[in-house]
């Protein structure tokens, strides 16, 4: 009997995760940075990940780089900028599968809840526009 829905999270174990670098810039111009910008702003989001294997090949790390630039459509002035580098260190439990793409996707799924919380809390409390990090559909990503 084959296991059809094998838990993909059982392939790796997160050992450690932490904020590697965090920057939040919010200009103090009260006239520009207010709630009227919520419906009239441009939000540019960039996200990428760096995979690094370790010598014994049973461990790897990911650094998720998440960047949000928010500017006013009216004045074109920057409302805020958030840059986050988030680190995750993993142990490979499934010794037969060392496919970098699969390991990266599973690792990111384990890291995203923490990244989502950080982005949402900082943008809600410090920015003029709360940012919500949606779940990533990895079937749409390109190699």
Q: What is the 3-state secondary structure (H, E, C) of the chain?
A: CCCCCCCHHHHEEEEEEEEEEEEEECCCCCCCCCHHHCCCEEEEEEEEEEEEECCCCCEEEEEEEEEEEEEECCCCCEEEEEEEEEEEEEEECCCCCCCHHHHHHHHHHHHHHHHHHHHHHHHHHHCCCCCCCCCCCHHHCCC
Residue 21 located in a structural domain: yes
**Which structural domain range is residue 67 located in?**
10-128
Residue 28 located in a structural domain: yes
- The CATH number for 91's domain is 3.10.420.10
- Highest mean pLDDT pick, 33-37, 56-60, 62-66, 137-141: 62-66
Residue 2 located in a structural domain: no
Residue 101 located in a structural domain: yes
Number of domains in the chain: 1
79-136: pLDDT as tens digits: 888 999 999 999 998 777 678 998 999 999 999 999 999 998 888 887 666 677 666 6
Residue 140 located in a structural domain: no
Residue 108 located in a structural domain: yes
């Amino acid at each position: 009997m084959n296991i059809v829905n094998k838990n993909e999270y059982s392939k790796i174990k997160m050992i450690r995760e932490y904020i590697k670098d965090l920057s939040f810039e919010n200009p103090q111009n009260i006239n520009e940075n207010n709630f009227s910008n919520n419906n009239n702003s441009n939000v540019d989001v960039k996200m990428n990940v760096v995979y690094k294997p370790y010598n014994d090949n049973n461990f790897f790390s990911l650094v998720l780089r998440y960047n949000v630039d928010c500017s006013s459509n009216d004045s074109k002035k920057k409302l805020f900028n958030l840059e986050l580098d988030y680190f995750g260190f993993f142990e490979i439990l499934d010794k037969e599968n060392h496919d970098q793409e699969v390991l990266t996707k599973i690792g990111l799924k384990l890291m995203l809840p923490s990244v989502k919380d950080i982005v949402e809390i900082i943008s809600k409390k410090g920015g003029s526009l709360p940012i919500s990090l949606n779940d990533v559909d990895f079937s749409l990503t390109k190699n």
